[in-house]
Amino acid sequence: MSKARQSWGSKIGIILAVAGSAVGLGNFLRFPVQAAQNGGGAFMIPYFISFLLLGIPLMWIEWTLGRFGGGFEHGTGPGIFHSMWKKNRFIKYFGVIGIFGPIVIFIYYTYIESWLLGYTFFSLTGKYSSVTTPDAMKSFLSGYQGLVKNEYFGGLKTAYAFFLLTFIVNITVVYYGIKGGIEKLSKIAMPVLLFCGILLALRVLTLGTPDAAKPDWNLKNGLGFLWNPDFTKLLSGKVWMAAAGQIFFTLSVGIGVILTYASYLKKQDDVVLSGLTAATTNEFAEVILGGSIVIPAAFIFFGPENIIPIAQSGSFNLGFITMPLIFGKIPFGIIFATLWFLLLFLAGITSSVSLAQPAVAFLEDEFNLSRKEAVGVFAVVCFVLCQPAIFFLGQGVVDELDFWGGTFCLVLFGTIEAILFSWVFGIDKAWDEMHIGADIKIPKFYKFVIKYITPLFLILILGFWFVQEGVPVILMKNVSAENINFVVLTRIMLAGLFLLIAFLVKITWNRKREVNR
């Protein structure tokens, strides 16, 4: 006999949990970099078009799919896909991606998240207060990561201690379940995160001009660098792809998490307004807060000639090198640096606990394990799988995990979902399913968008991305000779994990077939 599935305690709880899953490091680090590199204000035109034609439809698709699958006591891709296309005995194996992807992201994301906890502590204690140059701050970060031994750190002991603490916190939250763990965390973390973001944005917007000898290094020009449109960039397909990709990744669609979260809804629970609210909360965090902190602050302190190299240096450098240096130059910098890393840590943990839930839900739903048993299995497996990301960070392992889990699986899974929802399940049936218990009615033109535009958009993204970025990575063209063996071993580990999940899916479906005979 199957046990009763968990449920959310409130509508605001599920909205904040989904928003928390979406609001992550990409909102505050990846978004400003993408905007700065792709035409500033002109980037926002394809960005908002993509939000309307790709982001919102995918949100509604995943909320609806999840609630539908939950009605059959399935909370993950294999069961939900099978519920929608029962005649196809292979479709459930495509759903494996929705469990595999989150696990792969979890096993490196929690380590990166632990850096943020560490830097929150370092900011409070002033450990890097004497570090005043970009090169020295890079050395501090490299020492913490265990890539080098220097005067700041003698190895990985400090980083590993913060990883253990972060891992334990994640597992504890997941252990206490949907209502008692994830929802409770989201109700606390999301308001605190938004409060920290608003304080930081207000501080940046009141910086003035620190250097009187350089009057052009001011807030107006800093915001202008990010927001003034270079309309010639709209002729570049790369800009449109970058904008669509940012929307895709920032909303956490295509991961499988929203499917699982929505599976704990009741049949009459709204998915239309709730999905829209979660998406717009994420956009507020990204566009208003994420666009008002990093790039304007870097422009004011480092000037127009350095801002492009800073933007091109990558998200990690912005977060862990540029921003600490900036906070070291302003009054009460310790407080604002602590708020910065606390904000990022909260964004990280609300995302990472969501990544754990699909695998845990799979074990609970399909193998009838207790919450304690499912979380225990997940914790042991993921703790072992985390180790390569920690000890072989400098050998390309994290980049490899990020490619397969954080990029390839997202785009592929999202494309499969959109086609399955609109064409296999059927747009008329899907449209009716979305509006069950809906608090608002979706504009009719979205029926056309969801059936034709969104799937086509996703197929184009998948195709262009695969040719431009996927093929070189798959062929290891950018992997150095000394890292080849590490990358190959990482791929073997990932292939083994995927096959293991597929085997578990086969076992549970064979068992169900035997019971139904």
Mean pLDDT over each residue of the chain, to the nearest integer: 91
Q: Are 35 and 222 in contact (CB under 8 A)?
A: no
Model confidence at 352: pLDDT above 80: yes
Predicted confidence band at 184 (pLDDT cuts at 50, 70, 90)? Answer: very high
Q: Bridge-partner residues for 40, per DSSP?
A: 229
Distance CA 510, CA 493 (A): 26
* Rounded mean pLDDT, 181-186: 96
- Please choose, from the candidates 13, 20, 516, the residue with its C-alpha nearest in 3D space to the C-alpha of residue 251: 20
At 305-331, the pLDDT tens digits run 887 787 777 777 888 988 999 999 999
* Rounded mean pLDDT, 289-301: 88
Model confidence at 2: pLDDT above 60: no
Q: DSSP letter string over 260-312?
A: HHHTTS-TTS--HHHHHHHHHHHHIIIIIIIHHHHHHHHHHHH-HHHHHHHHH
pLDDT of 107 reads: 96
At 406-415, the pLDDT tens digits run 888 888 999 9
**Region of residue 296 (phi > 0: left; psi between -120 and 50: alpha; otherwise: beta):** alpha
Domains in the chain, CATH or no CATH each:
11-192+200-458+482-516 (1.10.4160)
Model confidence at 517: pLDDT above 70: no
Q: Are 233 and 42 in contact (CB under 8 A)?
A: yes
At 247-284, the pLDDT tens digits run 888 888 889 999 999 999 999 999 999 999 999 999 99
Predicted confidence band at 222 (pLDDT cuts at 50, 70, 90)? Answer: confident
